Chains A and B, each alone.
Chain A
Amino acid sequence: MAAVDTLATARPRANRTISWLVLAIAIALIVATPFLPNYHVRVLNSLLIYILLGIGLNIVIGYTGLLDLGFVAFYAVGAYSYGLLASPQLGLHMPFLVILLVAACLGAVTGILLGIPVLRLRGDYLAIVTLGFGEIIRIIINNLDWLTGGPQGIARLDKASILGIQIARPIDFFWLLLITVLLVGTVVWRLERSILGKAWAAIREDQDAARGIGINTTNAKLAAFATSATIGSIAGAIFAASQRFVSPESFTLQESVLIVLMIVVGGIGNIFGIVAGAAILILLPELLREFAEWRILFLGLLMISLIIVRPAGIVPRSFGPEKLIRGLFGK
């Protein structure tokens, strides 16, 4: 017990320094962004989209402990929602916010539909079946030419606007994405701390014992799948609006794997871990662009060393938003 006590009393000062540092870096980055060239803003936007995706997938992988390799399917659902409802493809030009709502609902529905058949599966089996689902959705999109434009995708998507304000330049999307990430991040963090989040953790630790204390694991898991898919779908809709083009190429298995890697490298189950994981896996390849074919090797080596040095991820599980707030504002 003594050891536990000293740990608890020795930490607050270090925690305070780290918390202020994290906040300072975040604010500096945000303030600087409007002055960056468009190319750099685009990179940051892609970072934010991946953070959003990571937050979504982490609900299933990190909180509930279910290895889902088909997450990209929901990203595609959101992207094609925008592609079909705001383009000449079907001649529909719905407002951005309405589409966002539609995408969120469609995401939740697909999340549940894909969740039901895999309820009994865990571990490797679950990973393989969800991987299959991800691919099936991509293949369907690829072959449904009359609706989705097939491999060519859908071009000339509408410019997005929210309540009359046009969202077109990269910096506009930066603000939109930043607000979305903060909002979604807060909701998900609060969910994790709610009684539902505790049940997810219990399912992750021991599904059968969770049933033994009265948790309807079917419902709790479907809630996790649905929430996660909703977030993926929202990310997809914003992505499509910012690209003004969608095609199946953006939704390959590789994307799913990349998001899983982000979560694992950053620290499973921790929102801040996702930010760190995304920073490494999205920003680094951009920074290493000059080294062309070498960068994959670089990344591979980095991943291997990270997994050896910090097998539980870069950010410790204990350093979550709660710890940050305590570090900033005292007890």
Chain B
Amino acid sequence: MTLVFQSLRKVYGEVVAIDDVSTAFAPGMIHGVIGPNGAGKSTLINMTAGSYTVSSGSITLDGKRLDKLKKYQIANSGIARTYQNIRLFDQMTAIENLEVCFYPAEVAAAWREVIWPPYANAQRRRRREKCMEILRVFDLQGYADVDARGLPYGRQRMLEIARALVANPRVLLLDEPAAGLNHHETAELTAKLTALRSPDRIMIVVEHDMDLVMTLCDSIIVMHHGKLLFRGTPAEVQASTDVQLAYLGTANDIDDIRAAAQNRRAQLGIRTRRRS
């Protein structure tokens, strides 16, 4: 099972957001995607998940074309995602945010839930138990019956990842999961994500937090102006002068990249506070 981008392009009017990107992602690994603001990282995630259409080129999973499918069909092919700006079902409880993910598998029997109460109760109990297990993995069990919008920001990030995991996806796409998190939460996130690595799962993490990327990822691609600039292990990325130049123009070591990440975190911190 591999996820393959073949000569992928995305243009928004005049702007070329993704320019001829071809690469492949293997299962069992965590793939990092880094690059300066506007490099096209989110666009890659959005096209893979079907949120945006592909201008040209193709995306295939296991040889099966994804880019021609509708967004919900892509999700049902085993691709789950989180969003750069958290998108939860705000006025549903934390556990309902997960329970609703059983829709594709169980909607055909919805009428039975309506006419046969014991069946409905059994279904509800089973769904709740399964989702409670996932909430526990993310230490969210205490928030199960709290509206998603009532959760602290860091918990909302966790809940969004939890929701993405309900369907046990083959491909997990995370767009800046650490954005707006404090040091403590980022450490917690790193641990949780590491535990999600599985031989039959492809994980792709877009992130600006270089510490997180370097510790978490097995392989990293560097995007720059919509192009795939570099691909390698964390060590290779850190050693690459191309990458340093891309980030800062005049960068001469990884510390500058870290400084850029710090800067970025500060920006997000401001955005986060405004949001809540």
Contacts A194-B113, A195-B107, A195-B113: A211 and B71 contacting too (C-beta < 8 A)?
A: yes
Give A191 to B107 CA distance when docked, in angstroms: 11
Q: Are the C-beta atoms of A215 and B104 separated by less than 8 Å? A: yes
| CB-defined contacts of B49 to chain A, threshold 8 Å | 212
| CB-defined contacts of A206 to chain B, threshold 8 Å | 87-90
| CB-defined contacts of B124 to chain A, threshold 8 Å | 193
Give A220 to B50 CA distance when docked, in angstroms: 19
Say if the beta carbon of A217 comes within 8 Å of chain B: yes
Q: Are the C-beta atoms of B90 and A205 separated by less than 8 Å? A: yes
Chain B 97-117 per-residue mask, 1 if CB under 8 angstroms from chain A, else 0: 001111110110010011101
Contacts A194-B110, A201-B89: A215 and B96 contacting too (C-beta < 8 A)?
A: no
Say if the beta carbon of A13 comes within 8 Å of chain B: no
Residue picked from B49, B72, B92, most chain A C-beta under 10 Å: B72
Give A191 to B110 CA distance when docked, in angstroms: 8
Give A217 to B99 CA distance when docked, in angstroms: 16
Q: Which of B50, B88, B143 contacts A209 (CB 8 A)?
A: B88
Q: Are the C-beta atoms of A4 and B72 separated by less than 8 Å? A: no
| CB-defined contacts of A216 to chain B, threshold 8 Å | 72, 104
Say if the beta carbon of A187 comes within 8 Å of chain B: yes
Give A209 to B75 CA distance when docked, in angstroms: 10
How far does the Cβ of B133 sit from chain A's closest Cβ, in whole Å? 18
Q: Are the C-beta atoms of B100 and A190 separated by less than 8 Å? A: no
| CB-defined contacts of B107 to chain A, threshold 8 Å | 195-196, 199, 219-220
Residues of B in contact with A, size category: 35 or more
Contacts A201-B96, A202-B92: A190 and B114 contacting too (C-beta < 8 A)?
A: yes
Q: Are the C-beta atoms of B120 and A193 separated by less than 8 Å? A: yes
How far does the Cβ of B106 sit from chain A's closest Cβ, in whole Å? 5
How far does the Cβ of A190 sit from chain B's closest Cβ, in whole Å? 5
Count of residues in A whose CB is under 8 Å from the partner chain? 28
Give A198 to B89 CA distance when docked, in angstroms: 10
Which of the 9-residue segments B76-84, B195-203, B217-225 touches chain A? B76-84
A residues 134-156 near B (Cβ < 8 Å) are none
Chain A 179-205 per-residue mask, 1 if CB under 8 angstroms from chain B, else 0: 000000001001101111011011011
Contacts A187-B114, A199-B107: A213 and B101 contacting too (C-beta < 8 A)?
A: yes
Residue picked from A196, A199, A214, A216, most chain B C-beta under 10 Å: A214
Q: Are the C-beta atoms of B51 and A202 separated by less than 8 Å? A: no
| CB-defined contacts of B101 to chain A, threshold 8 Å | 213-214
Give A224 to B76 CA distance when docked, in angstroms: 22
Say if the beta carbon of B251 comes within 8 Å of chain A: no
Say if the beta carbon of A124 comes within 8 Å of chain B: no
How far does the Cβ of A258 sit from chain B's closest Cβ, in whole Å? 26
Say if the beta carbon of B142 comes within 8 Å of chain A: yes
| CB-defined contacts of A209 to chain B, threshold 8 Å | 83, 87-89
| CB-defined contacts of A205 to chain B, threshold 8 Å | 88-92
Say if the beta carbon of B123 comes within 8 Å of chain A: yes
Give A208 to B145 CA distance when docked, in angstroms: 23
Q: Are the C-beta atoms of B114 and A195 separated by less than 8 Å? A: no
Say if the beta carbon of A163 comes within 8 Å of chain B: no
Q: Are the C-beta atoms of A214 and B104 separated by less than 8 Å? A: yes
Chain B 35-51 per-residue mask, 1 if CB under 8 angstroms from chain A, else 0: 00000000000000111
Say if the beta carbon of A308 comes within 8 Å of chain B: no
How far does the Cβ of B111 sit from chain A's closest Cβ, in whole Å? 8
B114's closest neighbor in chain A, by CB?
A190
Q: Are the C-beta atoms of B167 and A213 separated by less than 8 Å? A: yes
Residue picked from A4, A193, A213, A219, most chain B C-beta under 10 Å: A213
Say if the beta carbon of A1 comes within 8 Å of chain B: yes
| CB-defined contacts of A211 to chain B, threshold 8 Å | 50, 70-72, 75
Say if the beta carbon of B163 comes within 8 Å of chain A: yes
Say if the beta carbon of B146 comes within 8 Å of chain A: yes
| CB-defined contacts of B90 to chain A, threshold 8 Å | 205-206
Q: Are the C-beta atoms of A195 and B102 separated by less than 8 Å? A: yes
Q: Which of B75, B100, B123, B166 contacts A199 (CB 8 A)?
A: B100
B71's closest neighbor in chain A, by CB?
A211
| CB-defined contacts of A194 to chain B, threshold 8 Å | 110, 113-114, 120
Q: Are the C-beta atoms of B92 and A214 separated by less than 8 Å? A: no
Q: Which of B72, B76, B103, B146 contacts A198 (CB 8 A)?
A: B103
Q: Are the C-beta atoms of B103 and A215 separated by less than 8 Å? A: yes
How far does the Cβ of B120 sit from chain A's closest Cβ, in whole Å? 7
B167's closest neighbor in chain A, by CB?
A214
Contacts A1-B142, A199-B100, A205-B89: A212 and B113 contacting too (C-beta < 8 A)?
A: no
Q: Are the C-beta atoms of A190 and B113 separated by less than 8 Å? A: yes
Q: Are the C-beta atoms of B106 and A195 separated by less than 8 Å? A: yes
Q: Which of A191, A210, A212, A219 contacts B114 (CB 8 A)?
A: A191
| CB-defined contacts of A217 to chain B, threshold 8 Å | 72
How far does the Cβ of A186 sit from chain B's closest Cβ, in whole Å? 9
Give A205 to B149 CA distance when docked, in angstroms: 11
Leading 10 A-B pairs by shortest Cβ distance: A214-B75, A205-B89, A194-B113, A214-B104, A198-B100, A196-B110, A211-B71, A214-B76, A209-B87, A211-B72
7 new A-B contacts, CB < 8 A, other than A211-B50, A219-B107, are A187-B114, A195-B123, A198-B103, A202-B89, A206-B88, A209-B88, A212-B80
**26 sampled A-B residue pairs with Cβ under 8 A:** A190-B113, A190-B120, A191-B110, A195-B100, A195-B106, A195-B113, A195-B127, A196-B103, A198-B103, A199-B107, A201-B91, A201-B92, A201-B100, A202-B103, A209-B83, A209-B89, A210-B100, A212-B51, A212-B80, A213-B80, A213-B163, A214-B76, A214-B103, A214-B167, A215-B72, A216-B72
